[in-house]
Amino acid sequence: MKNIPLLPLRKTFLFPYMVVPLFVGRKKSISSLEKAVAKDKLIVATCQKNQDAEEPEEEDLYPLGTVAEILQVLKLPDGKVKVLLEGLYRAKLSNIKKDPFFSCSSKRLKFHSKKTKKAEALIRYVSKDFAEYAKLKGDVLNVNDILEIQEPDQFSDQVASCLQISLEKKEKLFTEAEPEKRLTALSFILSSEIEMLKLEKEIQQKVAKQMEKTKKEYLLSEKIKAIQDELGKEDYDETEEILAEIERAELPKEAKEKAERELCRLRKMPETMAERAIIRNYIDWLISLPWNKKNSEKIDIAEAKRILEENHLGLFKVKERVLEFLAVSKLAGRLPGSILCFVGPPGVGKSSVAQSIAKALGREFTRFSLGGLKDESEIKGHRMTYVAAMPGKILQMIRRMQSKNPVFLLDEIDKVSPYLLSSFLELLDPEHNSRFLDHYIDIPFDLSDLLFITTANTLHSIPSSLLDRMEIIEFPSYTEEEKLRIAKKFLIPKTTIGSGLPHLKVSDRAIKRVISCYTKEAGVRGAEKELTKICQKVAKEVVEGNKDKSQITVKNLTKYLGCPSYKEKSIGSANLPGVSYLLAYTEMGGEVLVCEVVTLPGSGKLYLTGKLGDIIKEQAETGLSYIRSKAERLSLQSDFDKRYDLHIHIPEGAIPKDGPSAGVAMVATMVSSLTNIPIKNGVAMTGEITLTGQILPVSGIKEKVLAAHRAGVSKVIIPKENERDILDIPKNVRKRLSILALSDMDEVIKEIGLIKVGSQ
């Protein structure tokens, strides 16, 4: 058939035996319809490959179409035409033209029309699937009529035309001329579509069920609101506000799920229930913790060095260690795993150095004093079920900082109870604190970004398992010269300006007198208190009208501070048998103590007074055994231990004393008392004694020597194995006193002038 009008279709195929209404709007398509109606009412319909083409070329159209009969044509007011077409048979298109209207030549496609057993089997199989498909789609109007058709060609085309499938799948069915092959393709397509429809239905049912539940909850909440309105209560739902806060907080998955579960519980509780406040408080804690908030940091070694030099005088080794720590952090891209532990007497700058580190890193700084801490709940919180439960101090301070990477100072860790060891092992171990579990929050919180710094006055009370996790940095005592410089550079400007007396001057001699006669310490905290006391008294005078005070000198110092609290030590002035000076290391730094021994008629008993601990008592007993073993060489009577009692006393009996450092001094003092020979003037001693007279090393040599220097000692005797510690002592101190490192008690007795060892 030549020059038959052509009707291009968008997004659809017209199958044979199919009756379909179409709306035609293109002018050339309308012209094709008019030409067909005027001639024999036959027209060829085919689908466009390019759906956007307004005047499709031959390559834009499928080469296969359907010859259809025009059953009805209706012109619409908007210029479009509604046409009803009935597909007759497939035809191959050629010689497509578009002027003056769409037309082409068509040739009917031939196929095997013989009905076979295979075709019958395929019809039955497809009929079954098509019936199920129609049922799932909810469209069963024409299904029965189609299922009654037994002719393979007509049946397959009717089924294909009813399927709601993609254009690609319809093309596959339309372009297949052989009915049996078309039925086979239909069976595969129907099986796939049925599976998809079942899945869609299952999903739809779940969604509907959830919607039903949501609708039910909504209706119930509306009823509750109506009841509240009836009772005259405010229509306010705080849970919506809490939910919005949870979303804004950007919580980790585990914390968010926990918060939502607790919020769900809160919704179901009556407003009068006391547990509502507990749950609300818990949710507030979850929301307010900085789960992901950090301070941005930039490690600048030069800036850190400037800050340390600006804020701290001396402490050269401490500053060097801190800068090394920061340098490793900069190169590694993270802080080292070890925890810094600052060890030293009070007032030597441990806390202020920690603050300088925080400033150098650009982090927040917080401090937690551990002195007297005995309850684990202070660290890890109480369970939520307890009355007035709260998180531990760690999370409390982190929330206050609103940052998960502050510098966290744990002050006085040496005062912590042994019962809390496990809590601190978890807190300070980098391998475990990334999932720190507070009992109240009950969700792991990452503490690995915190920089923990601990402080201690001594190390002997810290458990070894905890000490292994810390990097020890020792803070030495200050010399008097260093204290003077610190007072002039930091303390006096701070106290005078803070008291409103910026023009008040304090002479160097007055400062030295405050340091030596009004304080007894390794640091400068006491000196700051005394200077503050002076400024307060001067401020009172100024307010009362006396504005002449502009300088504090040695002459008017007693007017403001009264009589000196301590005498300037000048040991060695007394030259009595049975008196010596021993060097001790306490929490307050180095100390020079007096050791006294008297020999009394008796039966060989040993009395020890002065609030002495077990270790120092054992040293006294060990020393006495050594003297008994050396009685002949020391020119003592062989039965002196049966004829005399010895009484050892270390004054300042209200202060507890313990440790092995007093061993050498006690032996020397007992020998001095027994031989009635005084010890050389200006000598102080430290060291642990053995039964054979060997002197063992002790700790705190630097602090002890500095204390001896402050007290005016001229010679210090230390254990031989502590000789390496002499290099840590400031040069100006080493120049002013003699430091002897001895290994045997015989050498000490000879050095202090008691007896020439070995003489008979």
pLDDT digits (tens, 9 = 90+) for 355-386: 888 888 888 899 988 877 778 888 888 888 78
State the pLDDT at residue 54: 81
Count the neighbouring beta carbons within 10 Å of the beta carbon of residue 402: 13
Share of the chain above pLDDT 90, in %: 13
State the pLDDT at residue 228: 62
- Alpha-carbon distance of 687 to 699, in angstroms, equals 9
**Active-site residue (options: 28, 35, 704, 715):** 704
DSSP β-bridge partners for residue 471: 340
Share of the chain above pLDDT 70, in %: 94
pLDDT-derived band of residue 547, with 50, 70 and 90 as boundaries?
Answer: low
Residue 749 has pLDDT above 60, yes or no: yes
Give the pLDDT mean for 705-718.
Answer: 86
Residue 418 has pLDDT above 60, yes or no: yes
State the pLDDT at residue 758: 42
State the pLDDT at residue 588: 67
State the pLDDT at residue 742: 92
Pair 742, 720: CB distance under 8 Å: yes
Helix residue spans in 429-549 (DSSP H): 464-467, 480-486, 492-498, 508-517, 525-543
Q: Helix and strand tally (H, E) in the chain? A: 27, 22
Give the pLDDT mean for 12-38.
Answer: 89
pLDDT-derived band of residue 229, with 50, 70 and 90 as boundaries?
Answer: low
Give the pLDDT mean for 64-88.
Answer: 90
Single-letter residue type at 570 = S
Which is more confident, 157 or 573?
157
pLDDT-derived band of residue 162, with 50, 70 and 90 as boundaries?
Answer: confident
* Residue 169 appears among annotated catalytic residues: no
pLDDT-derived band of residue 759, with 50, 70 and 90 as boundaries?
Answer: very low
Single-letter residue type at 533 = K
Which is more confident, 214 or 243?
243
pLDDT-derived band of residue 721, with 50, 70 and 90 as boundaries?
Answer: very high
State the pLDDT at residue 49: 85
- Alpha-carbon distance of 710 to 566, in angstroms, equals 12
Give the pLDDT mean for 689-711.
Answer: 88
Sign of torsion, CA 497 503 507 510?
A: negative
Give the pLDDT mean for 481-502.
Answer: 86
Residue 641 has pLDDT above 50, yes or no: yes
Pair 369, 411: CB distance under 8 Å: yes
* Residue 704 appears among annotated catalytic residues: yes
53 secondary structure, DSSP code: -
User: Which two three-digit tokens encode residue 82?
Assistant: 């509604």
Which is more confident, 759 or 687?
687
3-state secondary structure 357-378: HHHHHCCCEEEEECCCCCCCHH
Torsion of CA 417, 418, 421, 424, to 10 degrees: 20
66 Cβ contact list (under 8 Å, min separation 6): 13, 14, 15, 16, 44, 45, 46, 87, 88, 89, 90, 91
182 Cβ contact list (under 8 Å, min separation 6): 156, 157, 160, 173, 176
Phi-psi region of 572 (alpha: psi -120 to 50; beta: other; left: phi over 0): left
pTM surpassing 0.85?
Answer: no
State the pLDDT at residue 760: 37
State the pLDDT at residue 670: 92
Query: At which residue do the structure tokens 């003092």 appear?
Result: 669
pLDDT-derived band of residue 236, with 50, 70 and 90 as boundaries?
Answer: low
445 secondary structure, DSSP code: B
335 secondary structure, DSSP code: -
**Active-site residue (options: 423, 661, 673, 699):** 661
Question: Is 72 strand, coil or helix?
Answer: strand
Query: At which residue do the structure tokens 């230390």 appear?
Result: 718
Pair 740, 718: CB distance under 8 Å: yes
Pair 490, 741: CB distance under 8 Å: no
- Alpha-carbon distance of 465 to 416, in angstroms, equals 14
User: Which two three-digit tokens encode residue 345?
Assistant: 């007497």
User: Which two three-digit tokens encode residue 288?
Assistant: 């307010």
- Alpha-carbon distance of 128 to 107, in angstroms, equals 34
Phi-psi region of 606 (alpha: psi -120 to 50; beta: other; left: phi over 0): beta
pLDDT-derived band of residue 549, with 50, 70 and 90 as boundaries?
Answer: low
Pair 660, 688: CB distance under 8 Å: yes
Single-letter residue type at 717 = I
Beta strands per DSSP E along 180-287: none
Predicted confidence (pLDDT) per residue in 600-616, tens digit: 998 889 999 988 888 99
State the pLDDT at residue 622: 93
State the pLDDT at residue 193: 87
State the pLDDT at residue 716: 93
pLDDT, averaged across the chain: 84
State the pLDDT at residue 757: 43
Predicted confidence (pLDDT) per residue in 302-343, tens digit: 888 888 888 888 788 888 888 888 888 778 766 666 688 988
Give the pLDDT mean for 455-479.
Answer: 83
